[in-house]
Structure 1
Amino acid sequence: MAPEKLKPDDPRVEHRTAQINGKTYYYLLGLPPGVTSPVATVLLIHGWPDLAFGWRYQVPFLLSLGMRVIVPDMIGYGRTDAPANDLRAYSFRSISKDMAALVRHVLPDDPNPSVVVGGHDWGGFLVWRLALWQPTLVRAVFSVCTPYAPPLPEWLEPEAYVARIPNFRYQLQLASGEVERYLRPGDESRLRSFFNGIFLGRNSSGEGIFRTDRGLVFENFDSVGPSPIVGPEEIDFYVREYSHGRSSSEKKDKQPDTDESDSPLHGPLNWYRTRRINYEDDQELLRQGRTRITVPSLFISARGDVALPPAMSAGMEQYFDQLYRAEVNAAHWALWMTPDEVNSHIGAFLGKVVGHGSVKASM
């Protein structure tokens, strides 16, 4: 029988904070019960608009395999700091440094820590870059839904970029400030509609609140029904976590006239404003010839993901020394829609890369 998923404030994990490169990170730490020496350490990175809690089905499974698990709320999210105007803090290069420092904080007695990293959505984009920016840290890497995208040698303006990848057109809206102007602080009703809708809730006409060719569809917020994949208690948790007051570091760097930065989604949406910064950082990777993922890797695609369709991963193999592939019959929220299948694929992969005898699945 699969382990029961985490609940909010679940006692099977410790709830910790750490000062990392001048920022406060909140993270979950899971230690396998009755195990003095974990088989491996797994660092899990969530995406938008999720939290560390997004890995609630995977953390107990990994603990059952004897793994230590570290799961932060990423920069901009939940109980972690959310710099309002310092976009460089949201870059892949900066966050990669943060993750390396967080691992060293959790494992202070290990002079050369090496971890398995896993990501979903933006977290998937990050873990591929983490393997490039912090190669001595990463022992193996897996991504759910998000394919590897190599550094681009030339800059593409936003309209040219989405013309090349039409399913990313929604990113223009998410980066524009329009969402922050709609989702204001203190409006828990609208925030609840957002989470029900982004987690696949529909209205009586079968319409949702998100389209890849547009972004959020505000006129459907008032009519959207409950999420079919996230229960009311969990929706309450997301609303509560996104309704927290701003951290002191964010208040310090907030400009007095920036209305949009008050929105509970401003920090998470800053990830969509870093394309130019990430592109410029990627040029350093290109200059160093660091575009290939050399550690064992797993990519799990989701057949029904309209934002990150499996076809985007065509040709990925050329950038990997050792790439395993798997696919699940789910939409974007595969971690929760098909948790047993996702866990089985992750478990089989870990059985290969860490040699844990209790992992029986094969790929």
Structure 2
Amino acid sequence: MDTSKLKPNDPRVKYETKQIRGKTYSYILGEPQGPKVETVVLVHGWPDMAFGWRHQIPYLMSLGFQVVAPNMLGYAGTDAPRDLSQFTLKSVSADIAELARSFVGQDGQIVLGGHDWGGAVVWRTAYYHPELIKAVFSVCTPLHPLSAEYKPLEDIVAAGHMLNFKYQLQLKGPDVEARIQGKDMLRRFFRAMFGGRGPNGEAGFSTSEGVHFDVLDKIGAPPLLDEQELEYYVEQYALQEAPELRGPLNWYRTRELNAKDEMDRAKNGPPLRFEMPALFVAASKDNALPPAMSKGMDAFYKDLTRAEVDATHWALTQAGDEVNRVIGEWLNKALNGANKAAL
């Protein structure tokens, strides 16, 4: 089959919605042309959407996988609750589990993959619902240990730690939500987020500051989105009522809620331990989630495969073929050759 990246509204896949734990989720559904090997659920991050997996979905379909890529809570046709507790990793993991079981049944299993916030989701989904997960992988996002206590990010940054997360202080506040509204501002925002530059090389986003509002109107075409894709991002985000970024930014407002969900488990168990095959793909030039953040995570896995691609945080598109190769080879090993005929 054609394994080229998905185009907006690509007819090779379906665009559907389901009611999941009282919320409407929209998702991309890809069906293999031949016998189905397994079902893969792909979880995107910020500020992306299911379409962020456009390089991976056709490839996985060609290997015989049914692919389900939801637009996550707050994004692109999926509900955006005002209740922040709906956005916690524990709550979203329950959403993913129910969505998955609608395809594989109560006793079925899935392969689960994530990127960025989606990576955080898949590690927690595999922890909270291990019986559901046959194999799990994350691109860019390492495992974060369970939270034994809550420390405000402001205090951590002020102490000189986790400076690569300094941008999150801006994102969880009011400014980005208030100022990035309407299609024109969304268009400028996506140009900046996906690598566009000003006439003198100015960046529209950095991990040290966040969105650089003073240069947004100067940012040119982004190298990681063609014109059609850029407009698709704008149109999909505009499906949410203004402020359009409230839902996506809510993910950055859950740090304390996530910690409260995990404190008891961090102290009393069950331990953070993964028995299923796992894959972590780091991106060598990722400033937000540098590969060094993954140090020590091997101890939590029975069977962890590591790989690294030469890319920035946007490895799914920037190094799409290489990411696909790594995932495909790992899946063949993790599933005992079930997809070997298609590789």
TM-score bracket, normalised by the shorter chain, equals over 0.9
> Structure 2: which amino acid aligns with 1:160?
D
Task: For residue 221 of structure 1, give the secondary structure of its aligned residue in structure 2.
Answer: helix
- Runs of 4+ residues over 6 Å off in structure 1: none
Q: 1:254 matched to which residue of 2? A: none
Q: 1:265 matched to which residue of 2? A: 245
Task: For residue 172 of structure 2, give the secondary structure of its aligned residue in structure 1.
Answer: helix
Which whole-Å CA distance do the structure 2 matches of 1:11 and 1:350 have between them? 26
> Structure 1: which amino acid aligns with 2:33?
P
Give the CA RMSD over aligned residues.
1.6
Equivalent runs, 1:102-113 vs 2, <5 Å = 102-107=99-104, 110-113=105-108
Alpha carbons of structure 1 residues 337 and 359: separation in structure 2 relative to 1, 3 Å: farther
Q: 2:22 matched to which residue of 1? A: 22
1:57 lines up with 2:37 in the alignment: no
Q: Quote how far apart the aligned CAs of 1:172 are.
A: 0.5
Equivalent runs, 1:314-325 vs 2, <5 Å = 314-325=295-306
Q: 2:230 matched to which residue of 1? A: 235
1:208 lines up with 2:188 in the alignment: no
Task: For residue 12 of structure 2, give the secondary structure of its aligned residue in structure 1.
Answer: coil
Q: Quote how far apart the aligned CAs of 1:357 are.
A: 5.2
> Are the aligned partners of 1:348 and 1:361 in contact in 2 as well (CA < 8 Å)?
no
Q: 1:31 matched to which residue of 2? A: 31
Which whole-Å CA distance do the structure 2 matches of 1:360 and 1:348 have between them? 12
Aligned pair count reads 340
> Structure 1: which amino acid aligns with 2:244?
P
> Structure 1: which amino acid aligns with 2:135?
A
Q: 2:259 matched to which residue of 1? A: 279
Q: 2:94 matched to which residue of 1? A: 97
> Are the aligned partners of 1:347 and 1:361 in contact in 2 as well (CA < 8 Å)?
no
Q: 1:195 matched to which residue of 2? A: 190
> Structure 2: which amino acid aligns with 1:135?
P
Which whole-Å CA distance do the structure 1 matches of 2:147 and 2:21 have between them? 28
TM-score by length of 1: 0.90
Which whole-Å CA distance do the structure 2 matches of 1:23 and 1:4 have between them? 32
Q: 2:66 matched to which residue of 1? A: 68
Q: Quote how far apart the aligned CAs of 1:138 are.
A: 1.0
Task: For residue 136 of structure 1, give the secondary structure of its aligned residue in structure 2.
Answer: helix
1:134 lines up with 2:115 in the alignment: no
Deviations 1:149-207 (A, max 9, x none): 111212212222333211000000000011012112xx312110110110000011111
Alpha carbons of structure 1 residues 222 and 292: separation in structure 2 relative to 1, 3 Å: same
> Are the aligned partners of 2:37 and 2:338 in contact in 1 as well (CA < 8 Å)?
no
Which whole-Å CA distance do the structure 2 matches of 1:153 and 1:242 have between them? 35
Identity of aligned residues (%): 47
Equivalent runs, 1:249-260 vs 2, <5 Å = none
Which whole-Å CA distance do the structure 2 matches of 1:305 and 1:359 have between them? 31
Alpha carbons of structure 1 residues 332 and 361: separation in structure 2 relative to 1, 3 Å: farther
TM-score by length of 2: 0.96
> Structure 2: which amino acid aligns with 1:33?
Q
Which whole-Å CA distance do the structure 2 matches of 1:317 and 1:9 have between them? 39
